[in-house]
Structure 1
């Protein structure tokens, strides 16, 4: 198979494509790539700070950093959930009418992520922080130790 264009029409379209592609390649190579390497805010990677359970009760700075990290993690988890939901909705629209069969794995991933999100962030109210979420996690672990996994009913012989 020859590498170049086969006829004059294909050669014309290759030339038009090169004219349209050249400025884009130039911008990427001359502006975007150099700024990615030198610009500190481009996909900023923040260090992990101690969580709220590792902070002393009188260490306000540590507690503030834990709250900021908690809010950032919540935003990330919410966006991941939104992306999974959008993927499932797109699959449903594209694969209709047999979307239940073809989009089943996406639905399962979305439902699992939604359950995990609700376990961590659900029922906390409008104004919550890392300490409130930590207490929710602690109370859930105590409940599961006493009564079994939440949502499966109580174990036999457990106090009501």
Structure 2
């Protein structure tokens, strides 16, 4: 007898052996482990309802022929954009709730909430504003690159004009 009957189901003897194993070996081991964990305080079961994703390489860290990396970077970008949208939505609701709760003094009592919302909205527009209808992480990365190049050019231009203004002031003074 091999422990199974003709139909492939587990026999009564195998079920009995499994129950004895669980009773004699598994139950005391599990009890000791849970007791030690309870004493150490390591097993804190706090429910966490949000899914956590590991960070993946950004698009600038991906090779041009690595489609999987580019896909993961695009998915990470979409999740980050959704988080930024949710933050902006929460701040807007917070500001509106403040305004509606104190309509008479809304400019003074809600000023800090409004400033936070305005700063976050401006940062969102810098990062995501004026994108094409169908965009991905490459479009956003190129937008960021162009913005940084433009800022550097403006700084160089302002520094050059400042030097020329200093030279012009010296000529006028002579």
**Cα distance, 1:109 vs. partner?**
0.3
Q: 2: distance between equivalents of 1:81 and 1:35?
A: 28
Q: TM-score, normalised by structure 2?
A: 0.63
Deviations 1:60-103 (A, max 9, x none): 00000000000110010001001000000000000111111000
> Is the aligned partner of 1:36 residue 2:43?
no
Q: Which residue of 2 aligns with 1:155?
A: 158
How many residues are aligned here?
117
Report the alpha carbon displacement of residue 156 of structure 1 after superposing the two structures with TM: 6.4
In the aligned structure 2, how far is the partner of 1:97 from the partner of 1:157?
49
Shift of 1:157: 4.6
Residues 33-84 of structure 1: per-residue CA shift (max 9 Å, x gap): x7937xxxx3111000000000000000000000000011001000100100
Task: State the SS of the aligned residue for 1:155.
Answer: helix
**Structure 1 position 143 matched with structure 2 position 150:** yes
Q: Which runs of 5+ in 2 are unaligned?
A: 1-44, 162-174
- In the alignment, what sits opposite 1:54? 61
| Aligned equivalent of 1:106 | 113
TM-score computed with the length of structure 1 as normaliser: 0.68
| Larger of the two Rg values belongs to structure | 2
SS state of the match for residue 119, structure 2?
A: helix
Give the match for residue 120 of structure 1. 127
Give the distance between the partners of 1:35 and 1:85, measured in 2 at CA.
30
Q: Which runs of 5+ in 1 are unaligned?
A: 1-33, 149-153
